[in-house]
Chain A
């Protein structure tokens, strides 16, 4: 067995150890309180009960998770495409920013509790209103991230490209777009968590299937353990999506993690 293995394990634990410890102690405290305080499981179920019920109802949970995943991913894709198109338009036609940003900012002030039932009322119980709501909550953060990213381009690099005779479009593709990548991924990490919450909220306002409607039904049946089981699923889903964005970032920006390594 090579010597590097225990060290690699220790370093990996050094990374996730603190998180395991904090989350673990929270769950432990909750478990102990639920077990020994005499509180009714219909008020506060113990984590062990939540997990047991989640396993028992896994078929129903799975069936209700799939629509949430598709709403999240479809809505988020629409939002990404729209954010990219508008960010490019704004970058090339600066006055558009002044015209459009107030509209987008107002769209962010709409309370979800008000807008979600209305969108369901207008567009029905299908996938469309969920996609729209996910897009609504994630579009603006992505747009701002991209616009800021373009603006963060090194002036020297732009002056250099201009001196080489590069056109405005060429400068955008060669310098402004790659410069925006760190901002884009920062925005992506934030928005992807909003996206799941947005999808569940839309389902809560009215849906045939989905984690949102599952939570609503469990609550109406006085089953907080099933509500929390659905929360467990949605938290896992969010973490998986979050981890995926980090993975994509590492693949897309291999140069980013080289800076700390020893230089020749």
Chain B
């Protein structure tokens, strides 16, 4: 039996009359990059809310490393917008998670400082978020996520707010970071190309109430360099076909 880092079994959730999640089952193994792809408003973010907050499930169960999820959450969460605190310098935004965990500010700074170069933020430690470009802010947000040293990353459309060119650059950068680190991640996106480029496996969701329409494996070898290689494009086309015609499963 393979060991799963995260496992959702027949999870469902409704808000009053609104049936958001119908039946979601998915798994993420350690070191795996898994994406959830689905139409806008399908309830993708609700899955993350269930994972990161004390919101109750209406059905099903969530297990982390084999044990039911409760109490302190083992995830580092990166929201859609960078959510950097405008009143904190970049270094203090990056150490936020460690500070909340109870680490002293100076110790947290010492721990996070060496990561700045790798994130292309060297020399910007003392800047405020308003002084950074969109791509840099997103890297700072990711740095804040990584530095929490959690066992798993939850990325909610991390590049959705960026322009196309910056986004492509960030996707390549994240992809190369991925190859150097042993991260486990679950990514929410509605960008098919992004999902194919970054993921080991992709879950495609239906519109609300969300169910898992299909699960595909991305057999592209790493390191991946080309966002639109012929092999990637073929998978992309298949995914788009599935998303646009959800009734004709392939």
Contacts and interface: CB of A to CB of B under 8 A. Distances in A.
A175 B85 contact: yes
Contacts of A170: 100
Given A163-B52, A255-B87, A263-B133, A156 B81 contact: yes
B96 interface: yes
Nearest to B136: A264
A159 B100 contact: no
A263 B75 CA distance: 32
Interface in A240-259: 253-256, 258-259
B53 A163 contact: yes
A81 interface: no
Interface in A132-180: 154, 156-157, 159-166, 170, 174-175, 178
A181 interface: yes
Interface stretch (B124-132, B194-202, B233-241): B124-132
A254 B77 CA distance: 28
B43 interface: no
Interface in B77-120: 77, 79-81, 83, 85-87, 96-97, 100-101
A7 interface: no
A5 interface: no
Contact of A159 (B53, B87, B124, B130): B53
A231 B230 CA distance: 80
A259 to B, nearest CB: 4
A15 interface: no
B189 interface: no
A94 interface: no
Interface in B127-183: 128-133, 136, 148, 154
A164 B101 contact: yes
Contact of A264 (B53, B100, B133): B133
A3 interface: no
A253 to B, nearest CB: 7
B130 A165 contact: no
A255 B130 contact: yes
Given A164-B96, A178-B85, A264-B133, A255 B128 contact: yes
A263 B132 contact: yes
Contact of A165 (B79, B80, B81, B101): B101
Interface residues of A, number: 25
Contacts, number: 69
Contact of B52 (A162, A253, A255, A258): A162
Contact of B83 (A160, A258, A263): A160
A255 to B, nearest CB: 4
Contact of A259 (B72, B87, B100, B130): B130
Contacts of B128: 254-255, 258
Contacts of A154: 81, 83
B73 interface: yes
Contact of B132 (A157, A162, A166, A264): A264
B206 to A, nearest CB: 25
Contact of B100 (A165, A254, A258, A261): A165
A253 B87 contact: yes
A161 B100 contact: yes
B131 A261 contact: yes
A165 B73 contact: yes
A252 to B, nearest CB: 9
Given A162-B53, A165-B100, A258-B131, A178 B87 contact: yes
Contacts of A254: 128
Contacts of A253: 87
B46 to A, nearest CB: 12
B130 A258 contact: yes
Name the residue among B72, B97, B148, B154 with the largest chain A CB count within 10 angstroms. B97
B79 A159 contact: yes
19 contacts: A154-B81, A159-B53, A159-B77, A160-B79, A161-B96, A163-B73, A163-B77, A163-B154, A164-B97, A164-B148, A165-B101, A255-B87, A255-B129, A255-B130, A256-B86, A258-B131, A259-B130, A263-B132, A264-B136
Interface of A: 154, 156-157, 159-166, 170, 174-175, 178, 181, 253-256, 258-259, 261, 263-264
Given A165-B73, A174-B96, 12 more contacts: A154-B83, A159-B52, A159-B79, A160-B96, A163-B77, A164-B148, A165-B101, A255-B128, A258-B128, A258-B130, A258-B131, A264-B136
